Structure 1
Amino acid sequence: MRTNQQGDSIEILIGDLIFKLGKANQQIHQLSQRVAQLELLLQNQQKESFTNSHHSSFVKKIMAQ
């Protein structure tokens, strides 16, 4: 009887662990997607910044002439 209860307890613990691992995996997936979005935003912002600074220096050169 006692070993049967221990077996049930272990099964419950394993079930809880599997559930928690699934939730953790889901959170990791969501965070990975968010990081990819942020990397894309950063790349676009850097391109925009480069374009704006290049345009700005070009205008300054023309104005100086």
Structure 2
Amino acid sequence: MLTYIRESVEELRNNVTLPSRAESSNLMVVVAVFSILFALATWGVDTVFSELIKLYFDNVLN
């Protein structure tokens, strides 16, 4: 287990490169925009299905 941890730390130090601050900021904006768009799409589909279910049960019960 210790060997695995040592090798993992060594790999992180030697082989992993972090993006620049500017690139990280740009990627954060992209993720935020797509998250908001996905949330709005989910809300829209949920609203449509909710209304369809209400219409269905209003017609079945009356």
Bin for the TM-score computed over the shorter chain: 0.5 to 0.7
Determine which of 12, 23, 31 is the counterpart of 2:20: 23
- Equivalenced residue count is 44
Measure the CA separation in 2 of the matches of 1:60 and 1:25: 53
Structure 2 partner of 1:63: 60
* Larger proportion of helix: 1
Letter in 2 for 1:36: V
Q: TM-score, normalised by structure 1?
A: 0.64
Question: Identity percentage over the alignment?
Answer: 5
Aligned CA RMSD, in angstroms, stands at 1.3
TM-score scaled by structure 2?
A: 0.67
Alpha-carbon distance, 1:33 to partner: 0.4
The residue matched to 2:20 in structure 1 has which SS?
helix
Paired with 1:64 and 1:33, the residues of 2 have a C-alpha distance of 46
- Is there any run of 5+ residues in structure 1 with no aligned partner, and where? 1-21
Moved over 6 A (4+): none
Unaligned runs of 5+ in 2: 1-18
